[in-house]
């Protein structure tokens, strides 16, 4: 859609307000709204000013002036506003140099796509994340100097099998038995359907939706693959629309990777492929029907995976999901069909266009623009340096003998471990100035602060283990 077409849309649909959305460093949409008095075609080139010092991880106060530059192609009528409101996704630029701001996640994605084309290896990176989430009925938490608690609840939760519900009909999902049940056990079909339809109204095509493995409202909605920046945009629509549809039903969606103990967490298995001149580059005659290019791409992912987790698994809670046995692979190996390997080669179709690799470690707390860009750069580094991924593992990695498993490298087991890996391995991210040293050091500082915030606080379970020492 061109700026002129946006103007026509505003007139045809009786739009009264324009909402400008952009993504902060941690992956949350921020926004401000104007009336039509502020709207004209020039905003798509000139941008609009705002204070960048109040955004998490961004400018300091003495250089805070910044510009949002809206992308006309993202125009969408936001259904969650009372008055007719047009939404536009923006990229951030410096008002003096007019250069993309190097801490703007969407700008990072734009630079990643430009770098890909500049290598001559490919012209398009397609990504297809499978973001899981929980739908809860009630969430409460608090932390004070002398106490802490959290409590989440769902009518589907197995812990409610004995609750008085006037009447309790007994359809509760046992732990790890939430995959694909029909109603009345699955209580969330209509909500997920509405989420899908609202996503498609926003231009995000849907493949399928279903209940996921865990009890208590775990779900997944799969969207069609798209190029890197567009998929970053779509993941922002995804989180925004799902949360707001849930709120209509007096429920809440969370993309927190591990909100429940003893059941599956929420992952974001990410499918990737490279194309050039309209042709897929990952299909070939090597292992599992892959090309040599695809195997080298896997080599880059596996080599840099510890550093990649700094972006693909960016919270302290992420590492409560990254444990063996919960469909969250921690072992850095690749295999066809094998979901216990960190990199899987799906074998659903023999069509060369469907040939792709799937990195199963990421979770939906990730900022899509940043995580997808980092994954692309790791894969490209593998191709450029012909990194051999080694032999595939076709065994169940969860059942390997300890002496054999010890030979398989794994991802870090904590956020601080991922920051240490990123500190020692980030040269591949600096290619094409996609990421900068400033971005990396700022990210490490922010995430180390998060780790310390948790590390310094007593945990309720520590009282269970240690109070009587």
Task: Give the SS3 label for residue 13.
Answer: coil
- Which residue among the candidates 192, 269, 271, 344 is catalytic per the annotation? 269
End-to-end alpha carbon distance in the chain: 66
Give catalytic status of residue 98 as yes or no. no
- Which residue among the candidates 24, 104, 113, 130 is catalytic per the annotation? 130
Structure tokens at 292: 């040599």
Q: In Å, what is the CA distance from 125 to each residue of 54, 164, 206, 237?
A: 33, 52, 19, 20
CA distance 443 to 438: 8
Give catalytic status of residue 445 as yes or no. no
- Which residue among the candidates 113, 212, 263, 363 is catalytic per the annotation? 212
Give catalytic status of residue 130 as yes or no. yes
- Which residue among the candidates 175, 222, 339, 413 is catalytic per the annotation? 339
- Which residue among the candidates 59, 271, 321, 360 is catalytic per the annotation? 360
- Which residue among the candidates 102, 104, 220, 327 is catalytic per the annotation? 220
Q: Collect all residues with Cβ–Cβ distance below 8 Å to 287 and sequence separation of at least 6.
A: 295, 336, 345, 392
Structure tokens at 236: 């922002």
Q: What is the DSSP string of 365-386?
A: TS-HHHHHHHHHHHHHHHHHTT
* Cα 353 to the center of its chain, rounded Å: 24
- Which residue among the candidates 24, 78, 102, 132 is catalytic per the annotation? 132
Q: What is the DSSP string of 310-374?
A: HHHS-STTHHHH-STTSS---B--EEES-TTSSEEE--S---GGG--EEE----TTS-HHHHHHH
Give catalytic status of residue 285 as yes or no. no
Structure tokens at 411: 């991802």
CA distance 287 to 268: 25
Give catalytic status of residue 220 as yes or no. yes
Question: Pseudo-torsion of CA 241, 13, 90, 255, nearest 10°?
Answer: 0
CB 313 within 8 Å of CB 322:
yes
- Which residue among the candidates 327, 358, 363, 381 is catalytic per the annotation? 358
Q: In Å, what is the CA distance from 192 to each residue of 178, 189, 223, 359?
A: 15, 5, 13, 25
- Which residue among the candidates 5, 38, 46, 51 is catalytic per the annotation? 51
Length of the chain: 469
Residues known to be catalytic: 51, 130, 132, 212, 220, 269, 339, 358, 360
């Amino acid at each position: 859609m061109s700026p002129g077409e946006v103007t026509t849309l505003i007139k045809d649909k009786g739009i009264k307000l324009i909402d400008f959305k952009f993504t902060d460093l941690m992956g949350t949409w921020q926004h401000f709204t104007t009336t039509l008095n502020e709207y004209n075609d020039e905003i798509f080139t000139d941008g609009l000013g705002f204070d960048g010092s109040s955004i998490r991880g961004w400018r300091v106060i003495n250089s805070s002036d910044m510009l949002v530059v809206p992308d006309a192609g993202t125009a969408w009528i936001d259904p969650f506003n009372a008055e007719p409101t047009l939404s536009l996704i923006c990229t951030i630029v410096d008002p003096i140099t007019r250069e993309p701001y190097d801490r703007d996640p969407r700008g990072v994605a734009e630079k990643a796509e430009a770098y890909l084309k500049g290598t001559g290896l490919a012209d398009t990176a397609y990504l297809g994340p499978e973001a899981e989430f929980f739908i809860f009925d009630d969430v409460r938490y608090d932390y004070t100097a002398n106490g802490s608690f959290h409590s989440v609840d769902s009518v589907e939760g197995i812990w409610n099998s004995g609750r008085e519900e006037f009447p309790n009909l007994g359809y509760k999902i046992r732990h790890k038995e939430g995959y694909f049940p029909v109603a009345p056990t699955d209580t969330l079909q209509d909500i997920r359907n509405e989420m899908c339809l609202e996503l498609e109204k926003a231009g995000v095509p849907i493949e399928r939706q279903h209940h996921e493995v865990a009890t208590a409202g775990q779900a997944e909605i799969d969207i069609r693959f798209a190029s890197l920046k567009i998929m970053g945009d779509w993941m922002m629509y995804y989180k925004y629309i799902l949360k707001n549809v849930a709120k209509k039903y007096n429920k809440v969606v969370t993309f927190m990777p591990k909100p429940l103990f003893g059941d599956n967490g929420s992952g974001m298995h990410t499918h990737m492929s490279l194309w050039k001149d309209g042709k897929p580059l990952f299909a070939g005659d090597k292992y599992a029907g892959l090309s040599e290019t695809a195997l080298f791409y896997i080599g880059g992912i596996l080599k840099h995976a510890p550093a990649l987790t700094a972006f693909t698994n960016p919270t302290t809670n992420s590492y409560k999901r990254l444990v063996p046995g919960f469909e969250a692979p921690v072992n850095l190996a690749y295999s066809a069909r094998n979901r216990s390997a960190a990199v899987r080669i799906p074998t659903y179709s023999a069509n060369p266009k469907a040939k792709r690799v799937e990195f199963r470690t990421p979770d939906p707390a990730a900022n899509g623009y940043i995580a997808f860009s980092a994954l692309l750069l790791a894969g490209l580094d593998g191709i450029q340096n012909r990194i051999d991924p080694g032999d595939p593992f076709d065994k169940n990695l969860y059942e390997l003998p300890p002496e054999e498993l010890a030979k398989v490298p794994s991802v870090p087991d904590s956020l601080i471990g991922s920051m240490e890996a990123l500190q020692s391995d980030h040269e591949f991210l600096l290619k094409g100035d996609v990421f900068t040293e400033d971005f990396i050091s700022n990210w490490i500082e922010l995430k180390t602060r998060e780790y310390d915030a948790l590390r310094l606080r007593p945990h309720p379970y520590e009282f269970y283990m240690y109070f009587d020492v």
